[in-house]
Amino acid sequence: MSQRIVADPERKRTLDRSMTTDDDETDLAVASAGVSKERSRPMGLLLAPLGIVAIAGALLVYYDSLALDPDVNIQQASALDWHTKLWPQTVEHLTIAFWSTVIVVLIAIPLGVVLTRPALRRFGPVVLTVANSGQALPAYGLLILFLILLGQGTTTVIWALVLFALLPVLRNTMVGLDNVDRSTIEAGRGMGMTKWQALTRIELPLAVPVIIAGVRTAMIINIGMATLAFLVGGGGLGITINSGLKLQQDPVLIVGAVMVALVALTFDWIGAVAERYLKPRGL
Amino acid sequence: MPDRSMIHLDRVTKVYPGTVDPAVEELTMDIQEGEILVLVGPSGCGKSTTLRLINRMIEPSGGHIFFDGEDVTDVDPDKLRRRIGYVIQQIGLFPHQTIGQNIATVPKMLGWDKKRTAERVEELLDTVGLPAAEFRDRYPKELSGGQAQRVGVARALGADPAVMLMDEPFGAIDPITRDRLQNEFLRLQSELKKTIVFVTHDIDEAIKMGDRIAILGERSVIRQIDTPERILAYPVDDFVDDFIGSGSTLKGLNFERVSGLALSSYPTIKVGEAPEKGLRAMDEANREWTLLLDREHKPLRWLRRTDLQRGAGDMTKRGQHIRAEVEPNATLHDTLEEMLNESTGMCCVVDNRGRYQGVVEISDLTEVIRRLRTEAKEHYDALETVS
């Protein structure tokens, strides 16, 4: 028996080494893997702007080729005029999307925080159901409902969109906070963090990626839905699309629709960039 | 160690709302300054709850908690916890903060300035054996389990608390790393002299880590609280006996050393001496074996009477090779292990230069075991007469 062990010293040494290997070696492997992952750039974030620029370029070429002249086609020339129609509508469109998203964030994140505290946790499902129904209502119906309540105008659209886009941010805030590893909170509280410190220093930073994903979804919903703002006199690029439909002018319809798509794609990309760079390091 | 109570629990009770049976029932206990007190017991006995009552992560329903003589039952729990180190099994490092920021958590809350905090972080990383230059700016996900647990300990030591609470700190670590971390921690503790309450469900870990062990039964009732030696020698009831399980006598031998024994003496002869001298010595001592020593007094072989009767010649080829040899600082557990390898059933004791000192026989060990039992029993009998 003893002879066999001596006869195979190489094997024994290997065994010894594997038994006593300090975990530092494996750590370095882990560390470098983490670093290399962080350094690698996601191709999507770089490719998306190229795609957006390409579409914008194509639109520009198409717009040029229309050779808008009021004497030739008054309808097209008036509906697609950059200074009096397209640009002001884009600004309106973004204003609606911007304010509705900001208000959603200001309402949904604090609400999500409150609804994940132990004392109010039981109300979470109820509020989620209400927010769910907001999204379940047909957008058109919601707009009309707000039109009846608030009258015509941009404000009406903004509030309707707030109700419509509340759910993704609220739900993601609640899920993001609930998914924070309990042991990190336990450790923080155990070291003497107050509830507020545990929330602001541990829970919210760790929930940021999920919350931002929700905000991004809400923003895209809002940009899309702002197309309906014209229905209640709220302006936006929906006017151009609607004109194209009503006047049966396909070029007007196409330019309007592609403009909305460009705006949506651009902001989705900005959202993706924000998601990536606002994510706390180390996650 | 001066017997000064650092933590005193006075009839602490916890009843969870909606339940009738308390999770912890009227627990009274003292934790002395500078000791490691291990709370051990079967799952669900309330040992973790008890630990969390001390830093009021769970608010007690009754009783009082004293901290260095101060009643802390009603002080601000957040401020209280900043004075107590807290280590949990899952470690709970903050993944979005660097190792340095993690360790600086409590100093930052206490408002230390940047320079003092940075120095403290560096010092602590060195203390737990992680070079500060290499680890301070890493993130927790880049650490192995063992390293993460060391950072967890460093973070708990952040503002140099006098008391540490540890809830199964090495529970989720592989056995080899766990053993190393335990040893490191004991070495650290011998320098830091913190007052530590340590929860585990593993009796072997309790025996290894504890200056004292409290064995808890249901509702966190103390079944026995004493040094590991005495608990192993004298479990007070069947519950404790069952819990420490088989092999308690063997485990107890870990706490006794050869130097504490009166060694048996055996006749010896040196290489080159006449066999008759050895035979005479064996007759005088009435022994069946004699030891052959070399010129430096190192034991060489066990010789029988018949080996000597073969007359003069090379003695080093006769009798039996000595396999079992221990130094005086060896534990009796290791000595027994050596003995089992020796066909004579005896173990030679040599000094640090290998020179013969005496012999340990199996009867010496049984004698020690009997003595330990009697001493522990007398200790408990004395306690009973007092109360």
Contact B142 A205 (CB under 8 A): no
Whether residue A1 is predicted with pLDDT greater than 50 in this model: the reply is: no
Contact B140 A194 (CB under 8 A): no
Instruction: With respect to residue B284, please indicate whether it lies within any of the assigned structural domains.
Output: yes
Last residue of a domain, which of B248, B280, B308? B248
Contact A131, A166 (CB under 8 A): yes
Work out the percent of chain B whose per-residue pLDDT is above 90. 62
Q: How many CA atoms lie within 13 A of A231 on its CB side?
A: 19
Work out the percent of chain A whose per-residue pLDDT is above 70. 85
User: Residue B25 is part of a domain; what is its CATH number?
Assistant: 3.40.50.300
B177 vs A23, A194, A280: nearest CB: A23
Contact B92 A183 (CB under 8 A): yes
Average pLDDT over residues B114-143: 94
According to the model, what pLDDT value does residue A140 have? 83
Contact A283 B144 (CB under 8 A): no
Instruction: With respect to residue B202, please indicate whether it lies within any of the assigned structural domains.
Output: yes
A190 vs B57, B79, B143: nearest CB: B57
**Among chain A residues, CA nearest to B104:** A191
Average pLDDT over residues B97-121: 95
Query: pLDDT of B284-314, one tens digit each?
Result: 888 889 999 998 899 999 998 888 888 777 8
Domain shared by B31 and B64, yes or no: yes
Domain shared by B263 and B242, yes or no: no
Domain shared by B271 and B173, yes or no: no
Domain shared by B140 and B264, yes or no: no
Average pLDDT over residues B163-179: 91
Query: pLDDT of A97-118, one tens digit each?
Result: 999 999 999 999 999 999 999 9
Domain shared by B44 and B184, yes or no: yes
Whole-angstrom CA distances from A20 to A16, A184, B29, B180, B341 are 6, 31, 41, 11, 26
Domain shared by B54 and B185, yes or no: yes
According to the model, what pLDDT value does residue B308 have? 86
Domain shared by B195 and B279, yes or no: no
B109 vs A34, A192, A281: nearest CB: A192
Contact B105 A183 (CB under 8 A): no
Question: What value does the CA radius of gyration of chain A take, rounded to a whole number of Å?
Answer: 28
Average pLDDT over residues B61-66: 93
Instruction: With respect to residue B144, please indicate whether it lies within any of the assigned structural domains.
Output: yes
Domain shared by B222 and B315, yes or no: no
Contact B187, B31 (CB under 8 A): no
A-chain residues near B147 (CB < 8 A): 23-24, 27
Last residue of a domain, which of B248, B267, B290? B248
Contact B237, B223 (CB under 8 A): yes
B-chain residues near A282 (CB < 8 A): 95-98, 139-141
**Among chain A residues, CA nearest to B80:** A192
Instruction: Count other Cβ atoms within 10 Å, centred on residue A253.
Output: 19
Query: pLDDT of A157-174, one tens digit each?
Result: 999 999 889 999 999 999
Whether residue A37 is predicted with pLDDT greater than 90 in this model: the reply is: no
Domain count, chain B: 2
**Among chain A residues, CA nearest to B174:** A23
Instruction: Count other Cβ atoms within 10 Å, centred on residue A213.
Output: 18
Last residue of a domain, which of B248, B269, B298? B248
**Among chain A residues, CA nearest to B52:** A190
* A&B contacts, CB < 8 Å: 99
CA distance B93 to chain A (A): 6
Whether residue A38 is predicted with pLDDT greater than 60 in this model: the reply is: no
Angle, in degrees to the nearest 10, between helices A139-150 and A154-178: 120
The ipTM estimated for the assembled molecules is 0.79
In the block, which residue shows the tokens 């509340």?
A166
A-chain residues near B156 (CB < 8 A): 191
Domain shared by B94 and B204, yes or no: yes
Domain shared by B314 and B193, yes or no: no
According to the model, what pLDDT value does residue A200 have? 95
A-chain residues near B97 (CB < 8 A): 282
According to the model, what pLDDT value does residue A29 have? 37
| Residue among B77, B209, B97, B78 nearest B151 (CA) | B97
**Could you write out the DSSP letters of every residue in A19-66?**
HH--HHHHHHHHHHHHHHHHHSPPHHHHHHHHHHHHHHHHHHHHHHHT
A23 vs B95, B96, B144: nearest CB: B144
Instruction: With respect to residue B377, please indicate whether it lies within any of the assigned structural domains.
Output: no
B81 vs A183, A191, A202: nearest CB: A191
Instruction: With respect to residue B355, please indicate whether it lies within any of the assigned structural domains.
Output: yes
Contact B140, B93 (CB under 8 A): yes
According to the model, what pLDDT value does residue A19 have? 38
Mean of the per-residue pLDDT values of chain A? 83
B140 vs A24, A202, A282: nearest CB: A282
Instruction: With respect to residue B376, please indicate whether it lies within any of the assigned structural domains.
Output: no
Mean of the per-residue pLDDT values of chain B? 91
Whether residue B32 is predicted with pLDDT greater than 90 in this model: the reply is: yes
Domains in chain A with CATH codes:
81-278 (1.10.3720.10)
Instruction: With respect to residue B371, please indicate whether it lies within any of the assigned structural domains.
Output: no
Sheet holding B24-32, edge to edge: B24-32, B5-14, B62-67, B70-71
Contact A23 B147 (CB under 8 A): yes
CA A263 to chain CA centroid, nearest Å: 14
B-chain residues near A31 (CB < 8 A): 138, 142
Domain shared by B69 and B153, yes or no: yes
Domain that holds residue B300: 259-366
Instruction: With respect to residue B372, please indicate whether it lies within any of the assigned structural domains.
Output: no
Contact B146 A23 (CB under 8 A): yes
Contact B255, B233 (CB under 8 A): no
Give the 3-state secondary structure of chain B: CCCCEEEEEEEEEECCCCCCCCCEEEEEEEEECCCEEEEECCCCCCHHHHHHHHCCCCCCCEEEEEECCEECCCCCHHHHHCCEEEEECCCCCCCCCCHHHHHCHHHHHCCCCHHHHHHHHHHHHHHCCCCHHHHCCCCHHHCCHHHHHHHHHHHHCCCCCCEEEEECCCCCCCHHHHHHHHHHHHHHHHHHCCEEEEEECCHHHHHHHCCEEEEECHHHCEEEEECHHHHHHCCCCHHHHHHHCCCHHHHHHHHCEHHHCCCECCCEEECCCCHHHHHHHHHHHCCCEEEEECCCCCEEEEEEHHHHHCCCCCHHHCCEECCCEECCCCEHHHHHHHHHCCCCCEEEEECCCCCEEEEEEHHHHHHHHHHHHHHHHHHHHHHHHHC
According to the model, what pLDDT value does residue A5 have? 39
Whether residue A39 is predicted with pLDDT greater than 60 in this model: the reply is: no
Average pLDDT over residues B259-269: 89
According to the model, what pLDDT value does residue A217 have? 93
Query: How far apart, in whole angstroms, are the C-alpha atoms of residue A19 and residue A66?
Result: 77
A-chain residues near B158 (CB < 8 A): 191
Contact A27 B142 (CB under 8 A): yes
Domain shared by B55 and B26, yes or no: yes
CA distance B206 to chain A (A): 23
User: Residue B317 is part of a domain; what is its CATH number?
Assistant: 3.10.580.10
According to the model, what pLDDT value does residue A46 have? 83
CA distance B238 to chain A (A): 36
